[in-house]
Structure formats: C-alpha cells, structure tokens
Amino acid sequence: MKEILFVTGGCRSGKSSFALDYANRHFTKKVYLATSLALDDEMRARIKRHQEQRGSDWITMEEAKSVSRAISSLPKGIDVVLIDCLTMWISNLLLANQEQERIFKEIEFLVETIKNSPHSIITVSNEVGYGVVPDNTISRLFRDVVGIANQRIAAGSDTVVLTVAGIPSVIKGKLR
C-alpha cells in the first residue's frame, strides 16, 4: 500500500536517521533521492557518510533541482523514494536565482508528483521556523519558502513526524 510520509525537525534532530531506518524496516526496493550538492570537502565527507549508512541495497539518485522529474522517471517496481532533503532542494533553486513564484510552482508540481506517484514517498525537511527572523532578504526568503513548502508537503502526506533530539513524534496520521 502506498504511503506518503513527511519527516521534519531541526538540524541534527535525527530526521534523516529516522526516515532511513523507517524505509529500511518497511520497504525492499528503495531509492534515495539526494538533493545536496558536493560543493566543498566537508559536504563531500557528509555525503560519503550518508552513502555508507544507507548500504548497498539502496539505489541513489542525485538531483539538485528537478526532483519531480526524477521521481516521475522511476520504474514502477520501486517500493519507496526517500527525498533527502526538501530544504537543500529549495536552497539549490534559490541559489540558481529562480524567482519565488517559480519556486512555488515547483513546490506545487512536487506535491502533485508525490500524490500521483505509484511509489511510497518519504520526504525529509528542516523545520526552519523556530529561530529568529533573519537579518537579510535571501535568508528571510529561504525561511518563508521552506515554511510554505513544508506546509504543502505535510498537507498532502498521510503521516507527519516531527523529530526532536532524536525522538520521533507523530503529529499527523500514524506509522505502520
């Protein structure tokens, strides 16, 4: 049965670990859709650690901007797609100088793609609304766009999990 799960939380809250563990426990044919770009040595090391944690039974797709197209291109035999993470995807779109309205259209396209996909989808995203109001335009825009994206993805998800200090809490729906 298809499942749409949204996992959010602060930085280092355990959201990616929870999503990975959940997928490993409940699915066999798994795709990890990575949205981050390896722009420096620290990020390359971080990506390598994530790859090692996943193991060899995962198919890894790297897509920094066209997440909906990547999901749509997958064959029907895939059980689950884990998108990690929505926040990096939006950062990539903003850094590519995409206009806010264009990004909102991409978010709506992703919501529809997830809804219409034959695969179960787990989306990971940072909760960025707990901090102070940023002091510059691009940071405020990032916070606002991520907040709206999180709301839209959560609204279309069967289950929403908030992770805090490594502890997952279901705030919508229920887990298997």
Q: Which residue has the tokens 């916070």?
A: 143
Q: Mind listing the pLDDT tens digit for each residue in 22-52?
A: 999 999 999 999 998 888 888 888 878 888 8
Q: Which helix (H) or strand (E) holds 148?
A: helix 137-155
Q: What is the DSSP string of 55-93?
A: -TTEEEEE-SS-HHHHHHTS-TT--EEEEE-HHHHHHHH
> Mean pLDDT throughout 5-10?
97
> Mean pLDDT throughout 76-101?
94
Q: What is the pTM of this model?
A: 0.94
Q: Mind listing the pLDDT tens digit for each residue in 146-163?
A: 999 999 999 999 999 999
Query: Catalytic pick from 10, 24, 38, 50?
Result: 50
> Mean pLDDT throughout 69-90?
96
- Residues of the chain above pLDDT 90, percent: 79
Q: What is the phi/psi pair of residue 173, to 5°?
A: 70, -150
CA dist 118 and 90 (Å) reads: 24
Structure tokens at 44: 């390359």
Sign of CA dihedral 73, 48, 83, 62: negative
Structure tokens at 152: 């839209």
**Architecture of the domain spanning 4-172:** 3-Layer(aba) Sandwich (3.40)
Q: What is the phi/psi pair of residue 7, to 5°?
A: -120, 120
Q: Is 26 a catalytic residue?
A: no
Contact of 142 with 94, CB cutoff 8 Å: yes
Domain borders along the chain are 4-172
Output the CA–CA distances (angstroms, integers) from residue 108 to 2, 42, 68, 90, in the order listed. Answer: 20, 32, 10, 13
Residues 6+ apart with CB under 8 A from 138: 94
pLDDT at 77 over 90: yes
Residues 6+ apart with CB under 8 A from 131: 143
